[in-house]
Amino acid sequence: MQLRALCLMMSCLQVIPDRSQFFRYESFTLSCEDHLNSTGWTVKRRTAGGGVRPCTSGWGTASSGSTCVVGDPYPSDSGVYWCESGTGNRSDNITIVITDSTVLLESPALPVSEGASVTLRCRAETSSPNHTFTFLKDGLLVGSSASGQMTIHGASKAHEGLYICRIPGFGDSLGSRLNVDGSPQPPSSAPPAASCSASRVMCHLLVGTPYLLSTILLALIYRDRSRAALTLADGRGGDSVVMEIAV
């Protein structure tokens, strides 16, 4: 699955594994990728009751300010996360949800590239081979699966929305929003239509050359025949006999 990091001003926040929902106690890692050579990148978050806080040992274990391993998370760790530098640069926000539900929807936390294939996975806290899975988008049924997976081929803006998965007997997952990056493609650098490729030129030469050679050959034959006819006429005129009769 082709994914695109959330970037603003060339600073990116990545989630490992790349999904927006996690069960309670299921650890995940947030990492800031610095393309600006800025200093002091820190993972920060905003939750409903905790305000804005950096990634510290109080709610996660950080090897550095730019990487945060959130171990044994609780639902209170749900919130909006981003990267922020010492000079005030920020990445875009992502939303992470820690759920107490018995059903979880694995969907990308990061926007997917337009045209990419995206796989959504429905997972129960207690696995069973008898599970059946259904997927809903904005409240409408969009697919069902015995494997717990649904793949979207050629993602477009029409696939954006709030997705939920359902397992009979277990309930529904929380909703996860799928975002599709529809940035315009760079203009094509193809040559103008009037220009020809080398292969096309060669093709035309191969097809046209026999006709050209035939025309030249016919012209030469016609010229030689004309000359021969003139020479023959001149010869006949020079060999004529004049008879004089003497009286």
Strand 61-64 vs strand 67-70: parallel, antiparallel, or unpaired? antiparallel
What is the model's pLDDT at position 47? 78
For residues 41 and 119, membership in a common domain is answered with: no
Residue 163 has pLDDT above 60, yes or no: yes
- For 207-228, the pLDDT digits (tens) are 556 656 666 766 666 666 666 6
For residues 166 and 91, membership in a common domain is answered with: no
Amino acid at position 56, single letter? T
Q: What percent of the chain has pLDDT over 70?
A: 62
- For 198-208, the pLDDT digits (tens) are 444 454 455 55
Quick one: average pLDDT of 102-109? 94
Would you say residue 234 lies in a domain?
Answer: no
Amino acid at position 84, single letter? E
Most confident range (mean pLDDT) of 41-55, 197-211, 232-246 is 41-55
SS3 assignment, position 180: strand
Q: For the chain, what is the mean pLDDT?
A: 75
Residue 179 has pLDDT above 80, yes or no: yes
Which residue bears the tokens 């998965």? Answer: 165
Domain that holds residue 24: 1-100
For residues 19 and 48, membership in a common domain is answered with: yes
Looking at per-residue pLDDT, the higher value among 190 and 139 belongs to 139
Looking at per-residue pLDDT, the higher value among 89 and 245 belongs to 89
What is the model's pLDDT at position 92? 82
Q: What percent of the chain has pLDDT over 90?
A: 33
What is the model's pLDDT at position 21? 95
Torsion region of 144: left, alpha or beta (phi above 0 gives left; psi -120 to 50 gives alpha):
beta
For residues 140 and 166, membership in a common domain is answered with: yes
Most confident range (mean pLDDT) of 14-18, 130-134, 157-161 is 157-161
For residues 122 and 54, membership in a common domain is answered with: no
Report how far residue 96's alpha carbon sits from residue 70's, in angstroms, rounded to the nearest whole number.
Answer: 11
What is the model's pLDDT at position 150? 96
Report how far residue 41's alpha carbon sits from residue 211's, in angstroms, rounded to the nearest whole number.
Answer: 72
Residue 29 has pLDDT above 60, yes or no: yes
The token pair that represents 34 in the structure block:
């610095």
For residues 87 and 117, membership in a common domain is answered with: no
Tell me which of 164, 182, 200 is where a domain ends.
182
* pLDDT range class, residue 8, cuts 50, 70, 90: very low
What is the model's pLDDT at position 152? 95
Cα–Cα nearest to 83, from 147, 36, 27: 36
- CATH number of the domain encompassing residue 52: 2.60.40.10
The token pair that represents 24 in the structure block:
């309670």
Which residues is 119 bridged to in the sheet?
A: 151
**Single pTM value for the model:** 0.64
195: burial class by Cβ within 10 Å (0-12, 13-18, 19+)? exposed
Cα–Cα nearest to 12, from 42, 35, 33, 41: 33
23: burial class by Cβ within 10 Å (0-12, 13-18, 19+)? middle
Would you say residue 207 lies in a domain?
Answer: no
The token pair that represents 224 in the structure block:
């030689």
* pLDDT range class, residue 102, cuts 50, 70, 90: very high
Looking at per-residue pLDDT, the higher value among 241 and 113 belongs to 113
Cα–Cα nearest to 109, from 1, 203, 201, 16: 16
Q: How many CB atoms lie within 10 A of CB 246?
A: 3
Q: How many CA atoms, within 13 angstroms, populate the side-chain half-sphere of residue 19? A: 22
